[in-house]
A = this chain, B = another copy of it.
Amino acid sequence: MNTYLDCIPCFIKQSLEAARMATDDEKIHEEVLKVVMTHLRSISFTNSPPELSKEVHEIIRYITKSKDPYKKAKETSNRMAKKRYPHLKKMVEESDDPLLMAVKLAIVGNVIDFGTSNRFDVVDMIDNVVKKDFYDGGYTQFKKSLCNTKTVLYLADNSGEIFFDKLLINELLKQDKEITYVVRANPIINDATIEDAKYAEIDKIATVIEGDAGQKKSTPGMVLDFASKKFLELFKYSDMVVSKGQGNYEGLSDVNRDVFFMLVVKCPLVARDIDGEVGSLILKVKK
């Protein structure tokens, strides 16, 4: 997905938020905004939003001298999700269709996000998810695809959300799938890294890899130009690819293979691109 002019105010809003997470010094907040605006004057809109976001957050980290402005926010999300995990697990186990419930909850977990302007309440969403049937053909296609699948490449999005992913990974393991769970190699916004995967003990049930290993800075969304060799190989040969979140969608929406995108739509431009509404839960395969 290309970057649009509408992304500019969003990048700036996010820069201010990240700067405030990194320091209380208002002079630094102001400097961050000024340098980010200077940078945004010369960007190329043919790059995808995750690529530009990477550049913006590089500036933020440099000026605030913080390697990981979202560290505390990520820890809070993880703790909150961990606490909720036994309840969510029970919801899946007691459901008539545990796989469907796990898919729904994995998508709902994507509301835990600091990388977008629109925020939704995860508890509200969990309550709603049980009542509604969200998917047109998406879930049917997903189940059908699973029948011929041994290897699943599962792209994580955010910390906290990873506990919701764990529910779905557990269901996939019951069907004897082999899961490779892809996290970012470096901190970027609140995206999950290997540290988060270990905190959720996903490394004990799946192979965890860094999708962009070898790169010094991660993009908040998988972009093949920045991917590791290992990832590219798995991306090519895995039977199924599951991609969580907007960032990964923005980076992979135009690739030349089937990908099952699971996300909560938070931005009107993604909504238009994916043919959904802001706030809606999406399970869609793009070919």
Query: Which residues of chain A have a CB within 8 Å of any CB of chain B?
Result: 5-6, 8-10, 12-13, 16, 26, 29-30, 33-34, 37-38, 40-41, 45
Contact = CB atoms under 8 A, between A and B. Distances in A.
A158 to B, nearest CB: 22
A16 B8 contact: yes
Given A37-B41, A40-B37, A29 B9 contact: no
A5 B34 contact: no
Total copies of the chain: 2
Contacts of A40: 37
Nearest to A34: B41
Given A8-B33, A37-B38, A37-B41, 4 more contacts: A5-B30, A9-B9, A37-B40, A38-B41
Given A37-B40, A37-B41, A41-B34, A12 B16 contact: no
A30 B16 CA distance: 22
A29 B37 CA distance: 16
B16 A5 contact: yes
Contact of A29 (B5, B13, B16, B34): B5
A9 B6 contact: no
Nearest to A26: B5
Contacts of A10: 9
14 contacts: A5-B16, A5-B26, A5-B30, A6-B13, A8-B12, A8-B33, A8-B37, A9-B12, A9-B13, A30-B45, A37-B37, A37-B40, A37-B41, A38-B41
A80 B223 CA distance: 47
